[in-house]
Chains A and B, each alone.
Chain A
Amino acid sequence: MRVKAQFGMTFNLEKCIGCNTCTVACKNVWTNREGAEYMWWNNVETKPGIGYPKQWENQQRWQGGWVKEGNRLRLRYGGRPAMLSPFFPFFNPHMPEMADYYGADVYTFTYDDLHTPQQGTQQPVARPKSMVTEEEDIPLTWGVNWEDNAGGAHITGKYDVNFRGMSKEEHEAYLRFRDVFYFYLPRICNHCLNPACVAACPSGAAYKREEDGIVLIDQQRCRNWRYCITSCPYKKPYYNWRTGKMEKCILCYPRVEHGLPPICFHSCVGRIRSFGVILYDLDRVEEAALAEERDLVRAQREIILDPFDPQVIEAARANGIPDDWIDAAQRSAPYKLIKKWELALPLHPEFRTLPMLWYIPPLAPIITSIGQCSPDEQDIFDMDKPSSGPLLGLDELEKFRIPIKYLANLFAAGNEDEVKKSLLRQLAIRHYERSIRVDGKPNTEVLARVGLTEEDAKGIVRALSLAFYHERFVIPTTKREAADLSPYTERGFAGFAAMSPWAPVPRRKSYYKSRHTPEKEYE
């Protein structure tokens, strides 16, 4: 058992209102630069739909992720020998281009025209303007939030691969206005345990940090092979056309290292996101990635270790994980939501990258028609009406407006049982809470039916609806003091590359010899 720490994340889709505050925060902090205009390290998609870039989930088209070949994993785009062969590098058709991200070109609007209007016969308008060529009045045919609130779902929904396993009629029926459903899917880089982008990077620029599992791309070492875009099944690395380097979500590591959550987590107004340390067994990652499709969710949960288990704690200490990290793992909200209560599910586990961003599938709404299960005034004001009404019974999952099959294809590689378990547990919690409020006595029978204890239920209610900032985000700081580089000699120099201790500029490396850590060269 080799215990590693990793930052895990959960998004509660039940509560996501698709406001894109996360997206805007991320954009303003990281990607409002030339060459990065079209990058959305965080974006919120509406499902059903084909997303950003177009059809990113369709691996027939983009060749991302891993495939299981017998007892081995292979990158779908090509194994190592294929990628090293001279036939591969000069042209790669499986790579999104600007047209797949933004139709014609990434655009802004001529807002200046609003500030300095000429006198005219009509109101001044802001016209679309390309952010690459500065050409105006370019056609707008796609964008990061093109499908917001199921706009155009009747067209793009036909290409949504998550309807697989349904008949054509059923698929089309779900896209009709009367039966349409939608929910939001906020996406950032999943910082996978088995990242295909890292595996596909020939130059070794993409890497996973050992301490916290953040996946980064070394800008100096990147040689622009762009295999990471092809191989990442979530299409989260982006090509910076100005610098010619690949960029991706950095999980705001400058913030995380100092104990603050990433900016998209921090800014989430719905408080749907939680962030914390997860301990996992590095030796069993491959085993989990090789599980049968049906077992993928279970296998991925299994390699997550119980931070209260004395054996795990001992192994973690032996592997150099500091005590405050173990403590953080014990208080971690994602650990409970993923492993303890089994509410959260990974996005597309069938890509076998073992994503560490887990989603709690959305519960609402239910199918209603006049006179049947439709909430009327009576229901809203008269809470003594438990048998029918807005609250779904545990055996009425078929009344879900969102087909379970769809959620299963999205979050459990088609295994409906995993999705049902999560949904039923959320439903049971509602019944339990309702029984406390309405009946005045807690209904533990409904909890027992879904395998939860009353303590679990209280914890879930707390975690999903009441949790404070410090409960949702338990983030131990990075052990900078253990690094060889001392902040003391770095002050005034950090960020100036030419003044790093290794640069040719002569620089004092030590003011005095360190008594505490004599092996350090820089103090």
Chain B
Amino acid sequence: MFDNFFFVGLPYIAILLFVLGLAYRTLTGFKTFYRGKPAWGAWGDFLWTTRSTGFFGRATIGPAALCLHWGLIVLIVAHLIGFIGGAANWGGWVSFFRWTGMFGGVLALYGACWAFVRRLLSAQLRAMSTLEDYIVLLFLIVTLALGLYHSIVQFVWGVSYPVGRWLVSLFTLQPDASWVATIPLTMKLHIIIAFTFLAYFPFTKLVHAFSYPLAYITRPYISMRRYVGVKK
């Protein structure tokens, strides 16, 4: 029952919220399709920002910001490789996940912890922080800590095999929670919190992860606009 809720219901809800939420946030950035072209404008997504804290002390966040972001990138790639390896029963890929994940996890945990502590220590950052900023960092810290606790402290490796198959069952729309029924509790918590985080993601500043400027690759350096975009 619980397993079915957390490992069948929650993942689907989270993925749905993640995709639809992101789509909604992206599309509100457009005014509409005006004269057949997407037009940016007045009621776009004003909240799509990183709300960076570097303004109140760049030197104190530098290494942590780099560690956090690079750690997360390493973790995402490592997880993908681990799950594919686990589902396909490729031991090498799972081992790669183990070591790279450990490395990325340590980097990201250091970055997230320092970012959180720095927010608490600096009065200026306390003034500029919103609840969302703290929640997001706490989510990251708890998820990362659980993952690292599991792999570094408990030395329980190889969870990728059942989890990989469970994910395959999710994506093939034949969800089977029994794959993950036997994995350790810390790993279950890691997965549950991660999916909750995924559901929360599109409603936070974290959408900035999806602002890679594709248009910048081809557009001329100097962008010019006619006023308010309504002139022919």
Chain A residues close to B by CB (< 8 Å) = 80, 83-84, 86, 89-93, 95, 97-99, 105, 130, 132-135, 194-195, 198-199, 201-204, 206-211, 218-226, 239, 241-245, 478, 482-485, 497-498, 500, 502-503, 519
Contacts and interface: CB of A to CB of B under 8 A. Distances in A.
Interface stretch (B35-43, B139-147, B154-162, B177-185): B35-43
A97 B223 contact: no
Contacts of B55: 97-98, 239, 241
A282 to B, nearest CB: 9
A243 B47 CA distance: 8
Contacts of B211: 203, 223
Contact of A98 (B50, B124, B230): B124
The 10 A-B residue pairs whose C-beta atoms are closest, nearest first, are A220-B44, A244-B49, A202-B213, A244-B51, A199-B221, A90-B69, A133-B123, A224-B49, A502-B32, A223-B211
A92 B55 CA distance: 11
Given A97-B56, A220-B46, A242-B128, A478 B227 contact: yes
Given A203-B213, A220-B29, A502-B43, 12 more contacts: A90-B69, A98-B56, A134-B127, A204-B216, A220-B43, A221-B40, A223-B48, A241-B55, A244-B205, A245-B49, A483-B228, A500-B31
B230 A91 contact: no
Given A84-B217, A132-B124, A207 B32 contact: no
Interface string B190-232: 0000000000000001001001010111010111111110111
Contacts of A95: 54, 58
A479 B24 CA distance: 35
Given A224-B51, A482-B231, A502 B221 contact: no
A83 B216 CA distance: 10
Contacts of B42: 220, 497, 500, 502
A222 B65 CA distance: 21
A195 to B, nearest CB: 7
Residue with the greatest number of chain A CB neighbours at <10 A, chosen from B46, B51, B208, B222:
B222
Contact of B216 (A93, A202, A220, A502): A202
B172 interface: no
Given A97-B56, A132-B127, A502-B32, A224 B223 contact: no
A237 to B, nearest CB: 12
B12 interface: no
A80 B216 contact: yes
A406 B107 CA distance: 49
25 contacts: A83-B216, A84-B213, A90-B69, A90-B70, A91-B54, A97-B58, A198-B222, A199-B221, A202-B216, A206-B223, A207-B224, A209-B224, A209-B227, A211-B226, A211-B227, A220-B43, A220-B46, A221-B44, A222-B49, A223-B50, A223-B213, A239-B52, A244-B52, A483-B228, A500-B42
A484 B231 contact: yes
B91 interface: no
Contact of B46 (A97, A201, A210, A219): A219
B90 interface: no
B65 A90 contact: yes
B223 A208 contact: yes
Given A199-B222, A208-B223, A239-B55, A133 B69 contact: no
Nearest to A229: B55
B10 to A, nearest CB: 30
Residue with the greatest number of chain B CB neighbours at <10 A, chosen from A92, A223, A500:
A223
B66 interface: yes
Nearest to B51: A244
Contacts of A242: 128
B57 interface: yes
Contact of B225 (A91, A210, A223, A239): A210
Contacts of B228: 483, 485
A195 B123 contact: no
Contacts of B231: 482-484
Nearest to B62: A91
A350 to B, nearest CB: 19
A329 to B, nearest CB: 19
A224 B225 contact: no
B222 A194 contact: yes
B185 to A, nearest CB: 34
Nearest to B33: A502
Nearest to B231: A483
Contacts of B215: 203-204
A205 to B, nearest CB: 9
Contacts of B227: 209, 211, 478, 483
Contacts of A203: 211, 213, 215-216
B54 A223 contact: no
Contact of A241 (B31, B32, B128): B128
A424 B225 CA distance: 41
Given A97-B56, A245-B49, A204 B219 contact: yes
B208 A223 contact: yes
A288 to B, nearest CB: 14
Contacts of A241: 55-56, 128
Given A224-B49, A244-B52, A210 B224 contact: yes
A89 B126 CA distance: 24
A82 to B, nearest CB: 12
A499 B49 CA distance: 24
B137 to A, nearest CB: 16
Nearest to A195: B222
Contacts of A199: 221-222
B31 A502 contact: yes
